[in-house]
A and B are shown apart, each in its own frame.
Chain A
């Protein structure tokens, strides 16, 4: 597709389980961002990739969260030992370059619910 694709769109899991969320950016976009949006809040930065490497992971809340982008395209956000507080919409965005015109193209998000 032409836009940023995120799967699954909805994920319900139990506390303590492991979750993977996938992001397929726009073809050719080298920069990829993960954000988390809690109810009634704005997107909160998690991690930013430039190519295959994580250029900035300062937003990851703790070591249960990890993200990869092994071939510089698709990225996976991984959450271990999920907690109820992890429930949120996880947004992925891509950009043609880093620090360019600044336009991020967002996917529709993956809604995670931890019971």
Chain B
């Protein structure tokens, strides 16, 4: 069965600092990988996704993520964090064949200090 681990429950950064949120997945074949963001009072929104090809993917709001098969990781990065980035971030893995049902990690809460 597929699974996702987000080892950091909370991450605190200063505005303008760089950010990296960790995600490790478990899946036997080539995974589909996603990062979603959940802001207070809003539904989850897709930031970026990886299906195949270039292992460095660009997303919305200046985010990027790198797929590393050897490490079973898909870490999310941003070079300079803005106060509006404070939210809950979820990594998800989906199967690459048949019905697609993403499995989510428990999330990482990002706190941004001014």
Contact = CB atoms under 8 A, between A and B. Distances in A.
- The binding surface of chain B is classed by DSSP as loop
Contacts of B90: 42-43
B99 A48 contact: yes
B103 interface: yes
Given A41-B107, A101-B49, A102-B94, A108 B99 contact: no
Most interface-central of A35, A42, A103 (chain B CB within 10 A): A42
A3 B9 CA distance: 29
Query: Which range holds the interface residue count of chain A?
Result: 20 to 34
Interface stretch (B12-20, B40-48, B63-71): B40-48
A115 B13 CA distance: 38
Interface in A14-61: 33, 35, 40-45, 48, 50, 55-56
Contacts, number: 64
Given A55-B99, A56-B101, A91 B43 contact: yes
Interface residues of B, number: 28
A98 B44 contact: no
A108 to B, nearest CB: 5
A90 interface: no
Interface string B79-106: 0000000000010101001111111111
Interface of A: 3-4, 33, 35, 40-45, 48, 50, 55-56, 91, 93, 98-109
A34 to B, nearest CB: 11
